[in-house]
Amino acid sequence: MNSLVKSIIVLGGVSLQSVNAFTSISRSNVADISTTSLNVYGTPRKVQIIPSVLPADFGKLGADCKRLEEAGCDRVQFDVMDGNFVPNVTFGPETIRWCRKYTNMPFETQLMVSEKCTDAMLEEFVEVSKGPNGEPGVVIVHVEACTHLHRALGRIRAAGGSPSVALNPHTPAEMIENVLDLVDHVLVMTVNPGFGGQAYIPTMTEKIKKIRKWIVDRDLDVDIEVDGGIKATQETIGECAAAGANCFIAGSGLFAYDDLSEGVKELTDMALEAQGVAVGAK
């Protein structure tokens, strides 16, 4: 799809235009940078640090979201788990709605749920993921849980969200190749989903490279996110950034810092260095 008209999607004969600025899904997301020697394939995209709320204190989740906003995070990810798609249970849409009262930060919701749950509640999750003024929030569905993936992504866009797709470590990249023109983000799971604090799976680096090449070669306006085991190390965030990822989900890797802003800075600097971009150019 032509990048200049990517934000206009025609569904059932109706043109729907999403507001891209809030979720950084437009061409402005290409990094405004001075470079040294670029490592990443194509023009580097803006580094974004996106904490997962899994390690947060669920008894004061709203307050922790406010802390993350004050630390300089780009948005926050809510990991919705139903005990079926993954072996854990977290929360539903009402919890996300309550957190909006505490912060103006953009939201991102990853639906690690069964297909039945996705079908029944997709529009509700789109609604609670929106910004304080109705800006589109990122809503991520898993390819493994969507028999009709094109339809699910279209429903997210039609409801005013930013459609995005995730794939588990064992899932080939080719499973999402034919929907790249319908999404704003591709999330590569770098651990098996369901629990925080797991170790990065090194073989995911090649998957990131493959998806990045497809995106660049087709001139698509799509971010690559990575989720799982991300820390301020060359072996995790460094490898992912050099491979082409630019959005980094950090849970325990960020909450391990007493000063969250220090964690955001260290993660960002390591990613920029791996991209071959001057540190401080976020």
- Using DSSP, state whether 160 is helix, strand or coil: coil
Task: Of 159, 233, 132, give the one whose Cα is nearest residue 190.
Answer: 233
57 in catalytic set: no
**In sequence order, what E strands does the chain have?**
8-11, 14-17, 48-51, 76-81, 107-112, 138-142, 162-167, 185-189, 223-227, 247-250
Question: Other C-beta atoms within 10 Å of 53: how many?
Answer: 23
227 in catalytic set: yes
Exposed, middle or buried: residue 237 (CB in 10 Å: 0-12, 13-18, 19+)? Answer: buried
- The catalytic position among 64, 74, 79, 82 is 79
Specify whether the CB–CB gap between 196 and 228 falls below 8 A.
no
Q: Walk across the sheet containing 107-112 and list its strands.
A: 48-51, 247-250, 223-227, 185-189, 162-167, 138-142, 107-112, 76-81
Residue 185 CA to residue 167 CA, distance in Å, equals 11
Q: Name the residues annotated as catalytic.
A: 79, 227
